[in-house]
């Protein structure tokens, strides 16, 4: 079961965010049975609330036998024409995500971007 969970976990993208704009994001810890956990970033403009992002993510993961918990949220400002992403703010429902962790995930996904974060702002 652990090997299957590990394989399912490895197929979960670390980062899924919209290509442009300012939108909410959540930092989610994903777990499979007996497999180590990993943190993933999800951010989309369609989400009115951070909970919308988390619930959609949880549903997708559950189909693969994975569970998850929300570690917090914030906002992303993604400006592809400038190759910049800024991470800031917080989620009222889930609290502030660890933006430093989010930034590292984004840097791995967007190595040629300038990625910054701040605890200020909403």
Q: Is 41 helix (H, G, I), strand (E, B) or coil?
A: strand
pLDDT tens digits for range 48-102: 999 999 999 999 999 999 999 999 999 999 999 999 999 999 999 999 999 999 9
* Domain 1-118 sits in CATH 3.40.50.2000: no
113 has pLDDT over 70: yes
Q: Please choose, from the candidates 81, 82, 111, the residue with its C-alpha nearest in 3D space to the C-alpha of residue 15.
A: 111
Find the radius of gyration of the CA atoms of the chain: 14
34 has pLDDT over 90: no
The CA-based dihedral angle spanning residues 110, 114, 120, 122, taken in that order and rounded to the nearest 10 degrees: -50
Confirm if 43 and 53 have CB atoms less than 8 A apart. Answer: yes
Confirm if 30 and 70 have CB atoms less than 8 A apart. Answer: no
Active site residues: 50
Domain ranges of the chain: 1-118
Residue 5, pLDDT score: 76
Indicate the pTM of the whole model: 0.94
Percentage of residues in the chain with pLDDT exceeding 70?
A: 97
122 has pLDDT over 90: no
Residue predicted with more confidence, 4 or 19: 19
Mean pLDDT computed over 34-49: 94
Q: Does 24 carry a binding-site annotation? A: yes
């Amino acid at each position: 079961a652990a090997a299957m969970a590990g394989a399912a976990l490895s197929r979960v993208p670390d980062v899924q965010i919209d290509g442009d704009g300012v939108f909410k994001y959540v930092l989610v810890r994903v777990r499979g049975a007996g497999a180590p956990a990993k943190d993933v970033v999800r951010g989309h403009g369609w989400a009115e609330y951070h909970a919308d992002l988390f619930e959609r993510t949880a549903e997708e993961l559950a189909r693969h036998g994975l569970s998850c918990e929300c570690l917090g949220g914030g906002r992303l400002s993604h400006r592809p024409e400038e190759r910049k992403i800024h991470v800031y703010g917080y989620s009222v429902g889930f609290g502030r995500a660890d933006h430093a962790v989010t930034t590292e995930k984004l840097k791995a996904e967007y190595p040629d971007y300038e990625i910054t974060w701040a605890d200020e702002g909403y």
